[in-house]
């Protein structure tokens, strides 16, 4: 009897934390592999439209983004604005922006650059058409309408 | 050790994003050409208009967005050989070989560089068609100038525009999927563009059901009553 009693009063040993660094490192590597660095800070509010027939762009390094939407900062009004890189831009600055993007890449990659337009779904088409015409004028014909998966 | 790993982990959680870039890909027409596809031939153009009040109309008649997909499919296949829809010409081996021979002889007799290039282009399209017939047999070809012309008003909302784009894309995708199942017993989505076995199949299917959506010249769309 006394043998069993002695055994049951023994306190449980603490959980070993020796494997904790391994677990955390594993998590770290998982996140490093599956995620990408955040691009620019958004100055415009964008709710993407939904679409079912979307395709994934393979090479993110060859994608440039044009953001169109109402500004986050209420002082700038509520009309949609265009953002290129980290700042607001006027229509005639798009051309310059594209030259800059082409210059920073390898010459061979230039024809494969996709311009992805992230446009807020409540934007009026005039803005979208203006940007599109500007892209056509600069011969940037491969474009993507960014959307979210639905259904 | 764990503290350092934790710190790094939190740093990566904060600075990175997981979302992948998805959307509808389009190829815009070059500016200098500026073709007017619409007025060319009424039956070859499927006019899709969205007015400022986000109302959809097709060939001048108001339409519900749910019907757009079947409408586009009907336009692209013209199952009843209707006179108001594009005329589908059948393409088979004999016609292709004839075309190739004709283009070859024309190229030989071409007087200047420019016309030679035109015939060269002609020759390559026929050769491409021949390759398609070898893969999927005889098929019905959509006329080269058949196009879906999408126009919007300047106050149309982007969400509506994307809805319509999505439906157009879906219609073409449905047709391709059906053809791929019928001919190759595989899903079109599963064909891999990077694999050299699949690439000709993809090209063949795209040749039969091309995706021709013109957003060329934005015109003001009058409101529909």
Cβ separation of B17 and A136 shorter than 8 Å?
no
Q: Is the pLDDT of residue A26 over 60?
A: yes
B29 domain-assigned:
no
B157: Cα within 13 Å, side-chain hemisphere: 12
Indicate whether B121 and B213 sit together in one domain: no
- Is pLDDT at A8 greater than 60 in this prediction? no
pLDDT for res B78:
82
Domain annotation covers residue B216: yes
Residues in A closer than 8 angstroms to B166, CB to CB, are 51-53, 147
In chain B, how many domains are there? Answer: 2
Q: What is the pLDDT of residue A53?
A: 82
Is residue A30 classed as helix, strand or coil in its secondary structure?
helix
How confident is the model over B53-68, as a mean pLDDT? 87
Q: Is residue B31 part of a domain?
A: no
Residues B68 and B160 grouped into a single domain: yes
Q: Identify whether B192 is part of a domain.
A: yes
What pLDDT digit, counting tens, does each position of A32-54 carry?
A: 888 777 767 788 888 888 888 88
Beta strands in A1-150 (DSSP E): 36-37, 50-51, 55-56, 63-69, 81-84, 87-89, 114-119, 142-146, 148-149
Assess whether B96 and B78 both reside in one domain. Answer: no
Q: Phi and psi dihedrals of A119, rounded to 5?
A: -115, 135
Interface check B161 vs A, CB under 8 A: yes
How many angstroms away from the CA of B16 is the closest CA of chain A? 4
* Judgement on whether residues B125 and B217 belong to the same structural domain of the protein: no
Q: What is the dihedral of CA B157, B161, B164, B166, to 10 degrees?
A: -120
Q: Which of B99, B115, B140 is the last residue of a domain?
A: B140
Name the domain count of chain A: 1
To test the contact with chain A by mutation, choose from B3, B23, B157 the residue with the greatest count of A C-beta atoms within 10 A, namely B23
Domain membership flag for residue A23: no
Residues 11..50 of B with a Cβ closer than 8 Å to A: which?
Answer: 12-13, 15-18, 20-31
Structural domain includes residue B212: yes
Of A25, A123, A149, the CB nearest to B5: A25
Residue B78 within any structural domain of the chain:
yes
Mean pLDDT of chain B: 80
Same domain, B110 and B190: no
- B9-51: pLDDT as tens digits: 888 888 887 767 788 888 887 776 555 544 556 778 888 888 8
Q: Tell me: pLDDT of B220 over 70.
A: no
* DSSP β-bridge partners for residue A115: A64, A143
Per-residue pLDDT for B143 more than 50? yes
Residues B185 and B209 in one domain: yes
Give domain status of residue A7, yes or no: no
Domain with A67 in it: 50-149
Asked, for residue B26, whether it belongs to a domain, the answer is no
Which residue range forms the structural domain that includes residue B205? 36-86+142-225
Average pLDDT over residues B123-134: 84
pLDDT for B13 equals 84
Instruction: Determine how many CB atoms are found less than 10 A away from the CB of residue A91.
Output: 12
CATH, residue A76: 3.30.420.270
Q: Are residues B159 and B59 in the same domain?
A: yes
Are B109 and B177 in the same domain? no
């Amino acid at each position: 009897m006394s043998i069993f009693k002695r055994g049951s009063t023994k306190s449980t040993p603490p959980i070993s934390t020796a494997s904790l660094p391994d677990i955390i490192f594993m998590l770290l590597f998982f996140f490093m592999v599956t995620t990408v660095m955040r691009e620019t800070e958004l100055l415009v509010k964008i709710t993407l439209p939904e679409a079912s027939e979307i395709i994934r762009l393979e090479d993110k390094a060859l994608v440039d983004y044009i953001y169109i939407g109402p500004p986050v900062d209420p002082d700038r009004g509520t009309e949609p604005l265009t953002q290129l890189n980290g700042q607001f831009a006027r229509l005639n600055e798009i051309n310059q922006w594209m030259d800059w993007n082409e210059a920073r890449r390898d010459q061979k990659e230039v024809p494969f650059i996709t311009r992805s337009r992230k446009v807020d779904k409540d934007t009026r088409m005039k803005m979208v058409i203006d940007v599109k015409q500007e892209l056509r004028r600069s011969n940037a014909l491969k474009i993507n309408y960014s959307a979210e998966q639905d259904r | 050790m764990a503290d350092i790993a934790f710190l790094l982990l939190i740093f990566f959680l904060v600075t990175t994003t997981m979302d992948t870039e998805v959307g509808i890909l389009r190829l815009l027409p070059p500016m200098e050409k500026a073709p007017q596809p619409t007025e060319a031939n009424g039956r070859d153009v499927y006019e899709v208009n969205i007015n400022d009040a986000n109302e959809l109309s097709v060939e001048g008649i108001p339409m519900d967005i749910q019907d757009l997909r079947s409408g586009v499919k009907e336009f692209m296949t013209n199952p009843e050989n209707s006179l108001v829809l594009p005329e589908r010409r059948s393409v088979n081996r004999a016609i292709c070989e004839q075309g190739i021979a004709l283009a070859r002889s024309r190229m030989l007799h071409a007087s200047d560089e420019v016309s030679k290039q035109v015939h060269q282009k002609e020759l390559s399209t026929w050769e491409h068609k021949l390759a398609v017939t070898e893969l999927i047999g005889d098929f019905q070809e959509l006329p080269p100038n058949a196009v879906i012309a999408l126009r919007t008003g300047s106050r149309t909302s982007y969400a509506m525009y994307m809805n319509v784009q999505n439906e157009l894309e879906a219609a073409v995708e449905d047709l391709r999927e059906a053809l791929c199942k019928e001919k190759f017993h595989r899903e079109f989505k599963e064909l891999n563009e990077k694999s050299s076995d699949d690439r000709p199949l993809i090209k063949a299917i795209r040749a039969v059901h091309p995706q021709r959506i013109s957003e060329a010249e934005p015109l003001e769309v009058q409101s529909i009553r």
